[in-house]
Amino acid sequence: MARRPDLVGLTVLAILSVRPGHPYELHRFIVDTHKDYVTGLPRSLYHAVEKLAAEELITPVETSREGRRPERTIYEITGEGRRELATRLRRLVETPGAEHRVFTAAVSLLGVLPVPQALQALRTRAAAVDGTLTALNGQLEAMKDGGLPEVLALELDYERAVGEAELAWIRKVAARLESGELAWTGTVNRALMEQALQEEE
């Protein structure tokens, strides 16, 4: 059985690739930006931080305490963490799977990849989805030729409709990236994170 992707750890790496932060800030950012695919908060987040630190993908850089607040450890991503983030994210974008939630998560973090890598990952996925659609069309045609009632193939027809919609969306996003209409150079940056992660009064 294939291992489920660690979406919480991936999200932590993506956030820390922009700026260092402590788990409470990461938690707030995930909630405030509606990363709803991250479940089990805050426990899953603290577990992910511990695991990533043990794997040396992130490292503690500072520990501080303000007033009566609990002690907070600030983490930053390591060079190995950046490489792992890019590898994991590209793999999730490139490889269609049964869970649409996984692709949603990958798309929500796509801006941490350089545009050429994101574009290549989208093109790879488009080719895979196109291949799946070709196979589905073949199955549906064979069932039709075999005289089977259409109602027995509704699930395949549904899968085809979903695949066609996804392929159209991927191609549209890829075309916008290629033309420069959609770009994120300079948009996924520290200033944006600072704004989103402002401490409560």
Q: Are residues 76 and 168 in the same domain?
A: no
Predicted confidence at residue 201, as pLDDT, reads 37
Q: Are residues 65 and 106 in the same domain?
A: yes
Check pLDDT > 60 for residue 175: yes
Q: How far apart are CA 168 and CA 173, in angstroms?
A: 9
Query: Is residue 170 included in any domain, yes or no?
Result: yes
Report pLDDT digits (tens) over 15-59. 999 889 999 889 998 998 888 888 888 899 999 999 999 999 999
Q: Residue 30: give the domain boundaries.
A: 7-110+185-196
The residue-averaged pLDDT of 193-197 equals 55
Query: Is residue 36 included in any domain, yes or no?
Result: yes
H/E stretch holding 123 reads: helix 115-145
Query: Is residue 2 included in any domain, yes or no?
Result: no
Other CB atoms within a 10 A radius of the CB of residue 64 amount to 10
Query: How many residues can be counted in the chain?
Result: 201
Q: Are residues 171 and 189 in the same domain?
A: no
Query: Is residue 11 included in any domain, yes or no?
Result: yes
Q: Are residues 85 and 101 in the same domain?
A: yes
Q: Are residues 22 and 98 in the same domain?
A: yes
The residue-averaged pLDDT of 134-145 equals 93
> What stretches of the chain adopt beta strand conformation (E)?
58-64, 72-77
Check pLDDT > 90 for residue 190: no
Report pLDDT digits (tens) over 81-109. 999 999 999 999 999 987 888 999 999 99
Q: How far apart are CA 110 and CA 93, in angstroms?
A: 8
Q: How far apart are CA 136 and CA 131, in angstroms?
A: 9
Query: Is residue 122 included in any domain, yes or no?
Result: yes
Check pLDDT > 60 for residue 186: no
Q: Are residues 140 and 98 in the same domain?
A: no
**C-alpha closest to that of 21 among 45, 41, 55, 51:** 45
* pTM of the complete model: 0.83
Predicted confidence at residue 153, as pLDDT, reads 87
Check pLDDT > 50 for residue 152: yes
Burial group, residue 173, by CB count within 10 angstroms (0-12, 13-18, 19+): middle
pLDDT band, residue 198 (cuts 50/70/90): low
| Structural domain total, the chain | 2
Q: Are residues 20 and 86 in the same domain?
A: yes
User: Which CATH number goes with the domain that contains 59?
Assistant: 1.10.10.10
Q: Are residues 99 and 142 in the same domain?
A: no
Query: Is residue 1 included in any domain, yes or no?
Result: no
Query: Is residue 201 included in any domain, yes or no?
Result: no
Contact 115, 183 (CB under 8 A): yes
Q: Are residues 152 and 59 in the same domain?
A: no
Q: Are residues 65 and 16 in the same domain?
A: yes
Query: Is residue 153 included in any domain, yes or no?
Result: yes
Q: Are residues 130 and 96 in the same domain?
A: no
